[in-house]
Amino acid sequence: MRDKLRKILENFAKGKISLEEAEEALALAPFEDLGFARLDHHRGVRKHFPEVIYGPGKTVEELTKICASFLEKKLPLLVTRVEPSRAEILLQKFPRLSYSPRARLIYFLPEKTEAKGFILIACGGTADLPVVEEARICAEAFGNKVEVIVDVGVAGVHRLVPELPKLRRARVIICVAGMEGALPSLLAGLVDTPIIAVPTSAGYGANFQGVAPLLTMLNSCAAGVAVVNIDNGFGAAYLASLINQLPERVFSRA
Amino acid sequence: MRDKLRKILENFAKGKISLEEAEEALALAPFEDLGFARLDHHRGVRKHFPEVIYGPGKTVEELTKICASFLEKKLPLLVTRVEPSRAEILLQKFPRLSYSPRARLIYFLPEKTEAKGFILIACGGTADLPVVEEARICAEAFGNKVEVIVDVGVAGVHRLVPELPKLRRARVIICVAGMEGALPSLLAGLVDTPIIAVPTSAGYGANFQGVAPLLTMLNSCAAGVAVVNIDNGFGAAYLASLINQLPERVFSRA
Amino acid sequence: MRDKLRKILENFAKGKISLEEAEEALALAPFEDLGFARLDHHRGVRKHFPEVIYGPGKTVEELTKICASFLEKKLPLLVTRVEPSRAEILLQKFPRLSYSPRARLIYFLPEKTEAKGFILIACGGTADLPVVEEARICAEAFGNKVEVIVDVGVAGVHRLVPELPKLRRARVIICVAGMEGALPSLLAGLVDTPIIAVPTSAGYGANFQGVAPLLTMLNSCAAGVAVVNIDNGFGAAYLASLINQLPERVFSRA
Amino acid sequence: MRDKLRKILENFAKGKISLEEAEEALALAPFEDLGFARLDHHRGVRKHFPEVIYGPGKTVEELTKICASFLEKKLPLLVTRVEPSRAEILLQKFPRLSYSPRARLIYFLPEKTEAKGFILIACGGTADLPVVEEARICAEAFGNKVEVIVDVGVAGVHRLVPELPKLRRARVIICVAGMEGALPSLLAGLVDTPIIAVPTSAGYGANFQGVAPLLTMLNSCAAGVAVVNIDNGFGAAYLASLINQLPERVFSRA
Amino acid sequence: MRDKLRKILENFAKGKISLEEAEEALALAPFEDLGFARLDHHRGVRKHFPEVIYGPGKTVEELTKICASFLEKKLPLLVTRVEPSRAEILLQKFPRLSYSPRARLIYFLPEKTEAKGFILIACGGTADLPVVEEARICAEAFGNKVEVIVDVGVAGVHRLVPELPKLRRARVIICVAGMEGALPSLLAGLVDTPIIAVPTSAGYGANFQGVAPLLTMLNSCAAGVAVVNIDNGFGAAYLASLINQLPERVFSRA
Amino acid sequence: MRDKLRKILENFAKGKISLEEAEEALALAPFEDLGFARLDHHRGVRKHFPEVIYGPGKTVEELTKICASFLEKKLPLLVTRVEPSRAEILLQKFPRLSYSPRARLIYFLPEKTEAKGFILIACGGTADLPVVEEARICAEAFGNKVEVIVDVGVAGVHRLVPELPKLRRARVIICVAGMEGALPSLLAGLVDTPIIAVPTSAGYGANFQGVAPLLTMLNSCAAGVAVVNIDNGFGAAYLASLINQLPERVFSRA
Amino acid sequence: MRDKLRKILENFAKGKISLEEAEEALALAPFEDLGFARLDHHRGVRKHFPEVIYGPGKTVEELTKICASFLEKKLPLLVTRVEPSRAEILLQKFPRLSYSPRARLIYFLPEKTEAKGFILIACGGTADLPVVEEARICAEAFGNKVEVIVDVGVAGVHRLVPELPKLRRARVIICVAGMEGALPSLLAGLVDTPIIAVPTSAGYGANFQGVAPLLTMLNSCAAGVAVVNIDNGFGAAYLASLINQLPERVFSRA
Amino acid sequence: MRDKLRKILENFAKGKISLEEAEEALALAPFEDLGFARLDHHRGVRKHFPEVIYGPGKTVEELTKICASFLEKKLPLLVTRVEPSRAEILLQKFPRLSYSPRARLIYFLPEKTEAKGFILIACGGTADLPVVEEARICAEAFGNKVEVIVDVGVAGVHRLVPELPKLRRARVIICVAGMEGALPSLLAGLVDTPIIAVPTSAGYGANFQGVAPLLTMLNSCAAGVAVVNIDNGFGAAYLASLINQLPERVFSRA
């Protein structure tokens, strides 16, 4: 792809094509037009992670075309928020795809990266597991080692103590919590590891589908915490991956 | 006062007054009409605490009349949310009154009750002190012993450890917290003492003047917590007092 | 369990184990690892009530394992918010379990405690009965006597009069109300008993699934009221239980 | 004015003016153009109450012109929400005007109507007095007899009993309440008089400047209540006036 | 019923029963205890309308008992918000009951009152018809004549003109509107009839299930409007009925 | 229709009918009374677009009558938000109708207008396609040429470059975006074409069913953007049509 | 400026500068670096309107530098939301600047454009005048003729009639309204002119600083309306200007 | 400090002190009791950054004591959100302190760390500068190199191009944005650097003091973004610092 880009610029420099033609050629190169969505295979150059497809609003036919396009090119693939009934149809067509019903994720990962350092995912209760699972699969898809600690809530702070060494060894923590969402505050007071907080919609009443833990996390009086959208396991995994791989990236540049 | 009530009923029973007259007499007895507010001195019979006056919306002239009426009868008095400038005028007129600028409370407490058991007030940071102070003075006015622990936030959970024995000895805990308001959850996981949580408006941005800690406390995944209005130190003290004095009340009945 | 704890500490004091080993031993002791959730049987030491399991988000398989683990140890068990279809499966497997379809509660209570004093649950209308039922079963599970008064709403204040003596005899009142949620204010003006207010999501339109009664209760101009989350009958029962049993606990200490 | 209208129509019918001219004449007739606001003196025909001017956003110069225009025509006048400093300037210019600092109302009422029936205004506490005052002056300006009952809150239901006969004699009740705003529900359960509820912004924290009593009143489980905007004493008085004068209006038609 | 009340009081006056017995007798008299709900047949004395039952949250069994109790006593009956499937069961059991699927109302009205004056119900679009229907049936049940005007929205103000005479003849207008809910403002500028505005949940997006028209109506710059809860046709009918019958009530007193 | 109007006025001028009769005739002329909804065929005079029927809340029977009435008169017809099951019934009855399941639109367009200039519809992702489709069909029904660009999100700004010439040639842009809704801001910084922004409810968590993109669009720091309701493709198309046809309208007047 | 751009591209085409140098030159050309803000004089090329400076958050020193930079280049200038005290300092330094205290706008307009067509600004009450004024000055600064109609509220619909011809002659209407904000709906039902609605923060209580009229406008059941931010007179003027000038732009292209 | 800790443990191991004494000694060691706040000097061990003091709610006297305590120990110090008037008093007492009026920060930084890598702070407009300044000073205080880019808003995307190389060289980006807050989405589509988004309260109307950009950022459709509280420059700097220093920390461990 990079060769193609260079060629266009050289042709322009040599006067073989006009500026307008060069501009057009450069702009159009990275797209493959499927009619309904411009898949960004080019993205692998600019961003070193696989393309992630947001499932809702796409018909099964559209998802089928997308999956076929990716599998043919042997590109890694993640499709988020796919209900079991739609997933079943896709998996029958493409046996190479995997599916997690809890995380509602379809994925195809051609090869595993050998990663150093690890991302730790901690959550307060079993009701948060769907988001934990989404974050875990995505983070592994992005080439990271992942460890998971379940059920270390703020209401049982003594359960947290034996996990402290592991929490401190992690390069970055994804902290998933519903209900009142106080776990990130607690962790941030105990470790000096960057924490990405994910509020979940687990709760009822004045939880308001995750607004309560969202506000808790934004107001954390313990520094070192930033927040992603409610139930956004994928987004947390993506950012955690950028952080976890930062050291190798920095030193490979040097 | 009780004598007066009994008399009315007896007169009615004896046929000295008609039912309508009896009804009217009973209904009117407990009021002293100041024109703008019916002071409820009678309340000492039904509720064993002094009358508490809500300051906002009353003119200095009205507060002056109210204070005079109480002091004349040697009744204990609490006036909440009085700004320093208005308090100064009242204190000059009534030197027996006291004033806390931090809690914005005017009070007159004729005598101290000898209480057993104590209420513990815990807060997360110095920004919560005005509410702590309001709760403390009110609770003492209602005849309770009070202990206060400042600055035991969720972000510094290790600071909490040496306070655990005291937290467990208290009959009831008032837990005051702003920011994300996670302290009540943390405490409720460590002790089995009733906890009254008071969210404060200390914070900024997505704190929304106390809405964030209010939601946190309502969603607490640790049981044993109930919540009063934002910055309502008085309300917490009142309820804590009912709970703290319950054992003596129960056994004095028996 | 207490013996085990003491043993670890003594071993450390005697130098049989290192500080690190002692720390680890103490931290790990109370957990039984089921993989997906750390059940806190140890909690019976620290909190004198049975473990309560939050049902939503757990698969039937997970609930089955949890129930089996509890029943095997003859521990009392409460599982909240279980839909009838899932409850049926569990009850077929474990005939010793009971189920309330109205409160959506699964429970197993090995023995009844002989309690003194009682908790009174009052509600405004039949639409609030599911929450009343959840509170009642939980409170009884926690070893309390409970009395229930239905349909004493603020719009029919005359219906309340004959209930006043009972309301005053209770050690603590759980007041359940939907719609505008004014009942706790009314009660708090008539009795000097601690009141735990539970807003319910019964209502429509500007009720906002319980937000309206929640705000009403938080703003109650009658002191002596604190609030738990919308529809949180369990939380109210837990806190009411701590208060109801306070007198005996205080005097057993003395 | 009516003569003028009839004249235009007759002229048109007689062919003296064209349809376009007739239309234009009819449309323009009722306005007096002050440049910045079209005063609707004509309104006295269509609506039998004086014009009410909304004070905020108008400069003192504009208010001066408006007052002059009304006084010259001897029309009754009400200007709402005028701060004392601005009111002082106007009153110096127009000594015939009156001003209530509590209600922030400027008014001029040329003559008093002889009204039958009365409007009763009830409020829960002294903090609601500014709204009570606005409602009272407006209602009297609209030609009604008004009675006021202060401090009959839901938390002191026994204080309400002696007022019941008066509450039942009123043709319509304006019920003003801040804090949790439960008074209208309570009244509606006791009387069968139409109730106009006015939430006030008196309160703090989760009161949200009157949102809490607004929601309470909208969700009232007692029928017979409708609500106007927060602190809208004028609006309540206007509607109450329409209701209070309905009987005479109905029977004068007959 | 009134005889029964008078008897108790006389017995007490004569000394036949003690004060405590009198009090108890008076308080308990009006209730018929069905176990789950205290039906208030007594209400016919205090409020001259039939009892209205709020349907949601009641089981079919409970509704059956309530209907049987009312029909047996030949009392008029309204049950609101009953889904067709539940209504069908009740109608099979009690053929005398009627049901409106659009308004989801079950009703039994033994006789029609001969009313003077009428309530006018106006709405902006067909999407508001369920609420219009609920208001209409309820208002007729309460003994009023009702007229209905459909589809006179603010966006088609010219359609409103031919209806003005009827709008002005009505004693009270119920104005039902969803979407932006501006119809009451428009009407209040054209007539001097009391207007009860009912916001409906008809709309989408930033309508927020009726919050948009609710706010519009509360902020109406045209006086003479008060608001009830979203979709609350019953509440509007009840209040409109009180107003519509006020003239006769006032003059029958005189 | 215009002839009819003129006739009435002339008759009145000639004295053939009275003013009252003229008024009535004028007011009633444009309506065709179907009992439940006054169809505004007259609207073609005042507004040069076909009548658009809002589907929700109408029964299939009512929609059938409306469709029949329109088709009989050969009037163009749009019915919005009709679910597939209801659409199927209508299409079987009226084979001339068309239906778009994605946009949930039923439409009948007798002839195509020859338009100059075009409306461009741009959206950020495939999840926004239902709204894009509703806007496209409506805009074409209103007689406009339409071009659509899909999947030019703010997160892939480089994809936007090759579309800039087309974006600049459009007379007006409808910009449809869910998630964070930043696309209109981006476009407004690149082109000087009027932009109508349509937030969609595509998203989850703190998207709040379209509130997040709605706020983003309202706060756009790039000028040239105005916003319609969430998911309101129809409304955007209507306004865009007014703008797109403005030049021809202006110059046809000249 | 255009010459400069063309030169860079030609130099690159001729090989005088490298691609990197060309890219850099193109990117940097339009900026003049003042250290704290990059003024976009280049914008005159891409957008045919003067630069508009957002006043809040800039110090007087920064505003002084910006004004000096613009005046020196004889560029038209608008600075929004400048308080009188800050404006006074700037006007003393730059006597060529003008200032509107009502609109809080500083402006310098070197020459007046000869415009065809006009923008009509309509508002409901005098409280909306600051926003009307901001819109008017901005629209004139952008080279448009503007007409203003004040005080044509929804509550006085008869006042609107004589203005209809003017409303219909305008190319675009800016409709400014506070309180319940229903005016745009009313207008859109009467004219087929594009309407840009501006909610204002004029109002109180449940107006929520303009949220009520914002929602009203977004939910308008009359098509042809789009909305800008609360009090955003500038944004409305900008978009109105794009629409008003569209006909000339379209036909100058042709 | 570490020596002190080890000593306590050894003493306990040797039996010199009891377990209770050891526990107490360990718990109390790190605190210095100032009466109103427990300063956590110990924190330097657990967290490698200086203590940060939250200014609001502390009196000048309390801040004076805190500053004296820190300066005496030569500890670095940051006090956030101190108004100029209070800052002036402190700076007169402690000339070694510095103050930024824009960021409202008091700080004392004994020595500068030699950092590798850098944090880039980007903002959309000058109105965001107070938050940028807070973030910059804090990040430098925590030992980081910082670069700042001002005024690269989403509405001027072409201004962003020349900054891309610098944006890509940064280890972590703090992106500060008010208004609609779309800048983080735009950046995340162009670079693969972790982005910490800080919404600011700069804006008006439907910005809701920063809620609009907060929601925009949480809903960013471009991955790689997490969010901190509105205006929380300090929190962003703290987390950015953890990330920026991660590579050196990781490799110093290895």
- The answer to whether H54 contacts chain B (CB < 8 Å) is yes
- Asked if B84 and B60 touch (Cβ cutoff 8 Å), the reply is no
- Asked if B233 and B178 touch (Cβ cutoff 8 Å), the reply is no
Residue F95 has a CB neighbour count (10 Å cut-off) of: 7
**What b-and-e string marks burial along D103-131, b requiring 16 or more CB atoms within 10 Å of the CB?**
bbbbbbbeeeeebebbbbbbbbbbbbbbb
- The answer to whether A52 contacts chain H (CB < 8 Å) is yes
Nearest to C214 among A128, A129, A206 (CB): A206
Give CA–CA dist D107/D76, Å, rounded. 8
| Helices C2-13 and C19-28, axial angle in degrees (round to 10) | 170
Structure tokens at H173: 């980006």
Going by pLDDT thresholds of 50, 70 and 90, the confidence category of residue E121 is: very high
- Asked if B125 and B202 touch (Cβ cutoff 8 Å), the reply is yes
- The answer to whether C178 contacts chain A (CB < 8 Å) is no
Output the DSSP codes for B128-194: GHHHHHHHHHHHHHTT-EEEEE----GGGGGGTGGGHHHHHH-SEEEEEE-TT--HHHHHHTT--S-
- The answer to whether G56 contacts chain H (CB < 8 Å) is yes
Q: What is the pLDDT along chain B (254 residues), one digit of tens a residue?
A: 334 444 655 676 677 766 555 544 444 444 344 445 444 443 443 445 567 888 988 889 989 999 998 888 888 889 999 999 999 999 999 999 999 999 999 999 876 666 789 999 999 888 899 999 999 999 998 889 999 998 777 776 766 766 777 888 899 999 999 999 999 998 988 888 999 999 999 888 999 999 999 999 999 878 899 999 999 999 999 999 999 999 988 887 65
Q: Which of A176, A186, A246, A253 to mutate to test the interface with H (most CBs of H within 10 A)?
A: A246
- Asked if A41 and A30 touch (Cβ cutoff 8 Å), the reply is yes
Q: Is G206 in Cβ contact with D211 (below 8 Å)?
A: yes
pLDDT score for D10 = 62
Q: Is F47 in Cβ contact with G196 (below 8 Å)?
A: no
Pick out chain H residues at pLDDT < 70: 1-10, 12-13, 17-50, 112-114, 156, 158-159, 161-162, 253-254
Nearest 5°: the CA angle C206, C210, C213 is 85
- The answer to whether F220 contacts chain H (CB < 8 Å) is yes
Q: Is H205 in Cβ contact with G30 (below 8 Å)?
A: no
Fold of E37-108: Translation Initiation Factor IF3 (3.30.110)
- Asked if A245 and A144 touch (Cβ cutoff 8 Å), the reply is yes
Residues 6 or more apart whose CB falls under 8 angstroms from that of C55 comprise C63, C79, C80, C81, C82, C86, C104, C106
Q: Give the position of tokens 């008095």.
A: B77
Helices and strands (H, E) in chain A, number of each type: 11, 11
Q: Per-residue pLDDT averaged across F175-204, rounded?
A: 92
Nearest to H36 by CA among H7, H73, H69, H65: H65
Give CA–CA dist C241/C140, Å, rounded. 9
Q: Give the position of tokens 């706020």.
A: F215
Output the DSSP codes for F180-217: T--HHHHHHTT--S-EEEEE-----GGGTTTHHHHHHH
- Asked if F57 and E128 touch (Cβ cutoff 8 Å), the reply is yes
Residue H27 has a CB neighbour count (10 Å cut-off) of: 16
User: Which of helix, strand or coil describes residue E83?
Assistant: coil
Domain H32-108 has CATH 3.30.110: yes
Residue C10: is its pLDDT beyond 80?
A: no
Pick out chain D residues at pLDDT < 50: 1-6, 23-35, 37-47
- Give the type of residue at C85: S
pLDDT score for B27 = 42
- Partner residues linked to D39 by β-bridges: D32
- Asked if E194 and D246 touch (Cβ cutoff 8 Å), the reply is yes
CATH for the stretch F38-108: 3.30.110
pLDDT score for A20 = 55
Residue F86: is its pLDDT beyond 70?
A: yes
Give CA–CA dist G173/G170, Å, rounded. 7
Nearest to C205 among E31, E38, E231 (CB): E231
- Asked if B184 and A154 touch (Cβ cutoff 8 Å), the reply is no
Give CA–CA dist D241/D141, Å, rounded. 10
Fold of B38-111: Translation Initiation Factor IF3 (3.30.110)
- Asked if B106 and B58 touch (Cβ cutoff 8 Å), the reply is no
Backbone phi, psi, residue E202, to 5°:
-75, 120
- Average pLDDT, consecutive stretches of 10 residues, N- to C-terminus, chain A (254 residues): 51 67 47 44 46 86 90 86 94 95 90 80 91 95 91 72 81 95 90 94 91 94 91 96 92 72
User: Which of helix, strand or coil describes residue E38?
Assistant: strand
Same fold across E37-108 and E118-249: no
User: Which of helix, strand or coil describes residue E233?
Assistant: helix
Residues 6 or more apart whose CB falls under 8 angstroms from that of H212 comprise F215, F216, F218, F219, H179, H180, H181, H199, H203, H206
Q: What percent of chain D has pLDDT over 70?
A: 77
Residue F202: is its pLDDT beyond 50?
A: yes
**Residues of chain F numbered 136-175 and touching chain A (CB < 8 Å):** 150-151, 156, 158-159, 161-162
Q: Is D153 in Cβ contact with C180 (below 8 Å)?
A: no
pLDDT score for H189 = 83
> Burial level of B109, CB count in 10 A (0-12/13-18/19+)?
middle
Q: Please name the residue ranges forming H helices in H29-126.
A: 43-46, 60-72, 84-93
Contacts of H208 in chain F (CB under 8 A): 215
Give CA–CA dist D239/E227, Å, rounded. 11
- How many contacts does A have with C, using Cβ atoms within 8 A? 57
**Residues of chain B numbered 12-31 and touching chain E (CB < 8 Å):** 12-13, 15, 19
Going by pLDDT thresholds of 50, 70 and 90, the confidence category of residue F15 is: confident
- Asked if H213 and H199 touch (Cβ cutoff 8 Å), the reply is yes
Alpha-carbon dihedral of residues A157, A163, A169, A173, nearest 10 degrees? Answer: -50
Q: Please name the residue ranges forming H helices in chain G.
A: 2-13, 19-28, 43-46, 60-72, 84-93, 129-141, 164-169, 183-188, 211-218, 233-244, 246-253
Going by pLDDT thresholds of 50, 70 and 90, the confidence category of residue E154 is: confident
Alpha-carbon dihedral of residues G46, G50, G55, G58, nearest 10 degrees? Answer: 60
Residues 6 or more apart whose CB falls under 8 angstroms from that of E122 comprise E148, E149, E152, E163, E167, E173, E174, E175, E176, E183, E187
Backbone phi, psi, residue G130, to 5°:
-55, -40
User: What is A30-108's CATH number, 3.40.50, 1.10.3470, 2.10.70, 3.30.110?
Assistant: 3.30.110
Q: Please name the residue ranges forming H helices in chain E.
A: 2-13, 19-28, 43-46, 60-72, 84-93, 129-141, 164-169, 183-188, 211-218, 233-244, 246-253
- Long-range contacts formed by F35-41: CB under 8 A, 24+ apart: F36/E126, F36/E129, F36/E150, F36/E151, F36/F62, F37/E125, F37/E126, F37/E150, F37/E151, F37/F62, F37/F66, F38/E150, F38/E151, F38/E156, F38/E159, F39/F66, F39/F69, F39/F70, F40/E156, F40/E159, F41/F73, F41/F75
- Asked if F126 and F150 touch (Cβ cutoff 8 Å), the reply is yes
Nearest to E104 by CA among E84, E128, E123, E77: E84
Nearest-by-CA chain C residue for D191: C155
Nearest 5°: the CA angle H238, H241, H247 is 150
| Residues G118-249, CATH architecture | 3-Layer(aba) Sandwich (3.40)
pLDDT score for D110 = 73
- Asked if G175 and G198 touch (Cβ cutoff 8 Å), the reply is yes
Going by pLDDT thresholds of 50, 70 and 90, the confidence category of residue E32 is: very low
Nearest to G209 by CA among F228, E205, H207: H207
Residue F117: is its pLDDT beyond 80?
A: yes
Residue H240 has a CB neighbour count (10 Å cut-off) of: 30
Residue ranges per structural domain of chain G: 45-108, 118-249
Q: Per-residue pLDDT averaged across F211-223, rounded?
A: 91
CA distance H49 to chain B (A): 15
Nearest to A152 by CA among A130, A115, A121, A116: A121
Helices and strands (H, E) in chain H, number of each type: 11, 11
Give CA–CA dist C197/C176, Å, rounded. 6
Residue E186 has a CB neighbour count (10 Å cut-off) of: 25
Give CA–CA dist D21/D14, Å, rounded. 13
Nearest to B157 by CA among B122, B192, B109: B122
User: Which of helix, strand or coil describes residue G197?
Assistant: strand
Give CA–CA dist C84/C130, Å, rounded. 14
Q: Is A219 in Cβ contact with B206 (below 8 Å)?
A: yes
Fold of C36-108: Translation Initiation Factor IF3 (3.30.110)
Contacts of D215 in chain C (CB under 8 A): 180, 206-208, 211-212, 215-216
Give CA–CA dist F243/F221, Å, rounded. 23
Give CA–CA dist C245/C49, Å, rounded. 11
pLDDT score for C115 = 72
Q: Is D238 in Cβ contact with E228 (below 8 Å)?
A: no
Q: Is H58 in Cβ contact with B204 (below 8 Å)?
A: no
- Asked if D160 and D186 touch (Cβ cutoff 8 Å), the reply is yes
Backbone phi, psi, residue B171, to 5°:
-80, -30
Give CA–CA dist A216/B208, Å, rounded. 11
Q: Please name the residue ranges forming H helices in B189-232.
A: 211-218
Q: Give the position of tokens 């002889």.
A: D114
Task: Please give the model's pTM, rounded to 2 decimal places.
Answer: 0.85
